[in-house]
Amino acid sequence: MSAAEQKKGTTPTTNPRIVIVDDEPSIRKTIEGVLHDEGYGTVAVGTAHELFNVLESESPLLVLLDIWLPGMDGIETLERLRQLNPSIPVVMMSGHATIATAMKATKLGAADFIEKPIDLELLLKSIRGALAGSVTSNLTQEQSSAGATKAPTNTDRIESLNKIALSKQALPGRSFNQRTLKNSALLYGQGLHTGKKSGLILEPLPAGSGIHFAEVSESEIVPAHVDFVDSTGFATTVKFGNSQAGTIEHLMSALHAYGICNLLIKCNGEVPVMDGSAIEFCNLFDNIGIEEQNEPWKEIAIDRTYKFGSGKEEITLEPAEEFSVHYTLIYPPPVGTQEYEYTLGSIESYKKEIASARTFGFVKDIGWLQKQGLALGGRFDNFVLFGEEGPINCALRFNNEPVRHKILDAIGDLYLLGRRLRGRVKARMTGHSDNVAILKQVRQRLAELA
């Protein structure tokens, strides 16, 4: 700090301290070092729960609060903090937030919003301004004047979720225990189609809640259910009100394989594509652990043959003892004709045979897709790009990786009734729209039997 600033009486105190709330240890350490050099005392924590523990014993000088936190996210934390002690200035931080999230944070009382990677000089300027009570947000005047709604608390969310029951128990098959995750989890990534940086917060929910998506900056919750599917062009998107979640099929596929049926999923409008497959979601579930909820959950036993499409593009669903997908893919070389059948059994078999199969595309199509506003986040490490001679950006994980990925997608889309199906799927050159269409036929049958 300069001598001129010290003469003005702005020398920071060491008690009370600035609380840094960020789930990434490296960021906490970096900010702590900078603030210590400037003479500030600090305490660094990784969750909202730890922040509120600090607030029980002291009133900090200021809170630096990340948007993406496991458990209670930054917006919910900010709202609760304003209720507990509205006099504490809060500076929000995120590299994975939309402008709507930033607007909501400032409307809820945040003094400023800093984007990651953090410019440390800008951060210090923001802190000094917040402490002086005269900070001007980085948002433009036009953006700052927009309205924002009250952010829901976790309690509000769960009360809403419990009003949305799982699908009625028509066509019941075998009974399983309901499952959720043992703890909250957090992932960072990028949207395949929007190209935006995105975070993903997974929160356990009570038995009977179902799987639901939410955006950090919106209050509406979107059930992961076929009734809420909004679009199926190159990915599956669910939407309700102002909230939507796109490219959900890879995550839904992993949830299907693990039998997880109660979960709240927060994202920035699109689930991160990760490496283009479902394996990173599987690894996360393995690390966090699965909780058996000891409440019954019956599969849907397919009672007759359902069919959608004909000729080159066709999908059927018929009665069987297990859930399986037989898929035929027919493309010109170098992909060629590929045929594969997979029966959804153990988690280990899913991880070995299906989960690591990545999404794929063709060089000739990339320009057109991006003109349509799609594949904007496609990088050389999150999908397989085929040229005339074969993959040009990576080695295949399986010699028939494309058809395995089509099965991965189908497993995800066909979980959008909230329960597992017991039946055999036979598909040829189908995609998300076909998967959803056949599922709507089953949904109609359930309605008839209800």
Q: What residues act catalytically? A: 432
The percent of the chain in helix, strand and coil, each rounded to the nearest 5, is: 30, 30, 40
Tell me how far CA of residue 428 lies from CA of 110, 326, 337, 339, in angstroms: 52, 8, 11, 9
Task: Kindly state the tokens that stand for 339.
Answer: 């045929």
Q: What is the Cα gyration radius of the chain?
A: 24
With left for phi above 0 and alpha for psi between -120 and 50, is residue 393 left, alpha or beta?
alpha
CA distance 106 to 112: 7
**Alpha carbons 349 and 353: distance in angstroms, whole number:** 6
Whats the size of the chain, residue-wise? Answer: 450
- Crossing angle for the helix pair 249-258 and 401-413, to the nearest 10 degrees: 80
* Alpha carbon distance 124, 1 (integer Å): 10
- For residue 6, how many C-alpha atoms fall within 13 Å in the half-sphere facing its CB? 5
Alpha helix stretches (DSSP H) within 261-392: 279-288, 347-350, 363-371
SS3 62: strand
